[in-house]
Chain A
């Protein structure tokens, strides 16, 4: 470890790994710091990704994939099942322990240095310009200088706050999540199931993501405004007791997903935020793996070019924010608006939506048509639906 780098990346998740890789590939010297003992552990994820999205950021490797998903089934409060028209919903179940580890390994092939058990506890700043990080590693404290610090420190991010950015998330945009990896259950491994309704997961949804014939990630997210009255843990326990009474619980995941539009400011002088830290999760699905990698890819490249140009000021780094906005950020704003409207629907409205969608021909049961049916009383939002699902 040196005392100075072009870029220091805080956090070894998919966002951090991809930012580091792409900065290094452009010639920057890069150090990646991860507080945990090993990258990839603990897993805080339901591990599902769309195939097309993943392929846009990395060539998938077979050892990452625990199951191939053919389609998604949406379940209404009264139990009506809508199978999404197939080509929109093909995905992989990842093994994130292996996946996250491999992404960092791939980054090291571009020259990225990695330090684990390295907790960043503050920033080095001069006149509000970020100049580096303060790290605690094996009981000792170090200052490491960096021309650019990339904060990819996940949902618990504090790097942005230390730089003076407002990064806390509103309660109703935070999904309070719990998941159990269950075995000794019967599931159709070809489909993921998403359950909706006030009783099951208010302001969110419950998922059953099969990892094989008798194993699945079963979890839910509820909006913070509902978690206030009844915890995610209680909702999930009720569902599992009812649906899978003989299941064994192999693993429990606790976590939060920031289902908001991207933060207003994701760069400042000498600093960029990536992934969950920048609220770059798809606010409708809660999927944040691929989006973090995409943001990391853009950020890494912009960072390396900025270092080469000798200008790491906010205006220069805004190239990242603008490019992200065009790629995904704009769409996330639409998804967020749609999500807010959908989560206000009553169970009766959701049941009606399912019935009207089931009257469509199977190949017409697309997300676009489902939201059109769901938001029939909100014509102003139909434009967003059309734009979001082209």
Chain B
């Protein structure tokens, strides 16, 4: 599952552009990951300000290359 660190998001749409399955919705100051997300991670990697992260089932942030989340 992809989590959103809301106060970092600038609503720039860069993640939307790389999503292969159109699973990100962006409207003014609101961003939402839709249920058909495949956890491919592209949006997590492209975000310039580290807004997105993969979340484990138990709610902790998965270790990924973009290190300093939280």
Contact = CB atoms under 8 A, between A and B. Distances in A.
Q: Do A and B come from one complex?
A: yes
A213 B28 CA distance: 34
Contacts of A121: 27
A154 B27 CA distance: 13
A156 B16 contact: yes
A215 B17 CA distance: 31
Nearest to B22: A161
A227 B46 contact: yes
A362 interface: no
Contact of B48 (A170, A228, A229, A256): A256
Nearest to B65: A229
A326 to B, nearest CB: 26
Determine the interface band of chain B, counting residues with CB < 8 A from chain A.
20 to 34
Contacts of A231: 47-50, 66
Interface string A157-201: 110010000001111001011100000000000000000000000
Contacts of B50: 231, 233
A155 interface: yes
Determine the interface band of chain A, counting residues with CB < 8 A from chain B.
20 to 34
Contacts of A316: none
Interface in A212-245: 224, 227-233
A352 interface: no
Contact of A158 (B22, B46, B48): B22
B43 to A, nearest CB: 10
B17 to A, nearest CB: 5
Given A228-B66, A233-B50, A256-B48, A176 B28 contact: no
Interface in A294-351: none
Nearest to B45: A228
A248 to B, nearest CB: 19
Interface of A: 35-36, 44, 119, 121, 136, 154-158, 161, 168-171, 174, 176-178, 224, 227-233, 252, 254-256, 258
14 contacts: A35-B28, A36-B28, A44-B12, A119-B28, A136-B27, A155-B13, A156-B17, A156-B26, A174-B46, A178-B49, A224-B18, A231-B50, A255-B12, A258-B17
